[in-house]
Amino acid sequence: MSRARTILVIGGGAAGNAVTILLRRAGLAVDLIEARDDWNATAGSGITLQGNALRVLRELGVWEQVEASGFGFGSVGITAPDGTVLHVQDDLRTGGDDLPATVGMQRPRLQRILIEAVRASGAVVRLGTTADIVDQDADGVSVRFDDGSEGRYDLVIAADGLGSATRAAIGIADRPEPTGMAIWRIAAPRPAGLTRTDLAYGGPAYIAGYCPTSDSTLYAYVVEAHRDRAAIPAGSHADEMRRLASAYGGFWPEITEHITDPAQVNYTWFERLLVEGSWHRGRVVLIGDAAHCCPPTLAQGAALSLEDAWVLAQSLTGSDTWDDALFQAYYERRIARVRPVVEASVQLGQWQLDGVRDADVPGLMARTMTMLRELP
Ligand SMILES: Cc1cc2nc3c(=O)[nH]c(=O)nc-3n(C[C@H](O)[C@H](O)[C@H](O)COP(=O)(O)OP(=O)(O)OC[C@H]3O[C@@H](n4cnc5c(N)ncnc54)[C@H](O)[C@@H]3O)c2cc1C
């Protein structure tokens, strides 16, 4: 009988956790290493999960927990800066009609659900661990862990995010590029009556928005032109976000009352990355933000990362031969779907940066989301 194939997954974010769960289910031996000791179990404010993300979460077997922990809704409001609702648009159910269009979730809650599923899968998990690729040949990859120990795997999956050290180590030179925008985010209590995302365009920021993440919580965000991060003292983050947020009406005054602790306010630049040509070198293959990333104007980054995990797991478990042709087919299948989402996400922000007033925002959004309804 042939030896069971072994896989090293580098990075325990949405992509790495998802691919681990799916490969373990198929009986493959998976080691997952994660650089952070805490596995990011408490990090972040909220996340908007579109139907196509929910479809993968259902495939992972965690949909019931996601549904019970998050806040499902089916429309988005467009408001004036003073809070007047100008338009309410039904969201497309990109995961199919049996899933909500959108679920808002606390990011730490989603991460903990995925962590529990990885643990239950029987994968070997090593936290606070990184690895260097030492060598690879047609049969596998040799790695050295940061404690000096070594390992040999049939395949390494690089799910180590936007700044992927593994991507650089295998000679893929692409780096994320700033798009010119930045976002202030905070988690806060959910005001009664706030039951969907509303987006205000105009005012002192490009976008002010929020998303309910549970019966009692939401996350709120304000998007502006990016600034020199070094020139924004960490201690001023709450003041900076409150200054922008206080210009907005509707539910914003209630939300703004909670923008007080600078340690709870996150400031992040929007970035773009799309590795073209192939996402593998030999037997090291990229998934998730390590291969592509888009600004969250369509809230699709984690959704695409989860889809990568699903498609790669299907490819690996559906073939006895793990070779260039298989990894190239995985890339071709994903790039046709990922490229238009990255381009649309960047375009939506660029129109705002350029002050284009007659841009076909609804048309671009509708075309992109309609495409995402197809199975990945
Ligand atoms: C402001 C903002 C808002 C967003 N909002 C949304 C949204 O609403 N909806 C949505 O779908 N997407 C959203 N995204 C995108 C989403 O967060 C990412 O696409 C998603 O987290 C990518 O998952 P990943 O697993 O590929 O990478 P990550 O989540 O970055 O995970 C990578 C993991 O690898 C670990 N790691 C890094 N280096 C190493 C190493 N050398 N060795 C071992 N481990 C390592 C990290 O600690 C981390 O745990 C948003 C992104 C931003 C910036």
Residue 168, domain member (yes or no): yes
In the structure encoding, which two tokens stand for residue 32, read together? 């997952």
DSSP code string of 23-85: HHHTT-EEEEEESSTTTTSS--SEEEEEHHHHHHHHHTT-HHHHHHHSEEE-EEEEE-TTS-E
SS3 246: coil
Pairing of strands 150-153, 140-145: antiparallel
What's the confidence (pLDDT) of residue 2? Answer: 57
pLDDT digits (tens, 9 = 90+) for 93-135: 999 999 999 999 999 999 999 999 999 999 999 999 999 999 9
User: In angstroms, what is the span from residue 2 Cα to ligand 1's centroid?
Assistant: 35
Contacts of 83 (CB under 8 A, 6+ apart): 200, 248, 249, 250, 251, 252
Residue 350, domain member (yes or no): yes
User: In angstroms, what is the span from residue 204 Cα to ligand 1's centroid?
Assistant: 28
Question: Among 286, 265, 275, which residue's Cα sits nearest to residue 177?
Answer: 275
Residue having the nearest C-alpha atom to atom 4 of ligand 1: 296
What's the confidence (pLDDT) of residue 1? Answer: 39
User: In angstroms, what is the span from residue 210 Cα to ligand 1's centroid?
Assistant: 20
Residue 277, domain member (yes or no): yes
Residue 28, domain member (yes or no): yes
Other beta carbons within 10 Å of 166 = 26
User: In angstroms, what is the span from residue 15 Cα to ligand 1's centroid?
Assistant: 8
The pTM assigned to this predicted structure is 0.97
Q: Return the beta strands (E) in the chain as ranges.
A: 6-10, 29-34, 46-50, 71-73, 75-79, 85-90, 102-106, 124-127, 131-137, 140-145, 150-153, 155-158, 177-189, 197-201, 207-212, 217-225, 266-274, 280-281, 284-286, 292-293
* CATH number of the domain to which 317 belongs: 3.50.50.60
Residue having the nearest C-alpha atom to atom 20 of ligand 1: 302
Residue 352, domain member (yes or no): yes
Residue 204, domain member (yes or no): no
Residue 29, domain member (yes or no): yes
Give the domain range for residue 15. Answer: 6-44+108-176+272-372
Pocket of ligand 1 (CB under 6 A): 10-16, 33-36, 40, 47-48, 53, 130, 159-162, 165, 183, 268, 288-289, 293, 296, 299-303, 305
User: In angstroms, what is the span from residue 162 Cα to ligand 1's centroid?
Assistant: 7
Residue having the nearest C-alpha atom to atom 51 of ligand 1: 296
Angle between helices 14-25 and 301-317 (to 10 degrees): 20
Among the atoms of ligand 1, which is closest to the Cα of residue 270?
A: 53
**How many domains is the chain built from?**
1
pLDDT less than 50: residues of the chain: 1
Residue 228, domain member (yes or no): no
What's the confidence (pLDDT) of residue 27? Answer: 95
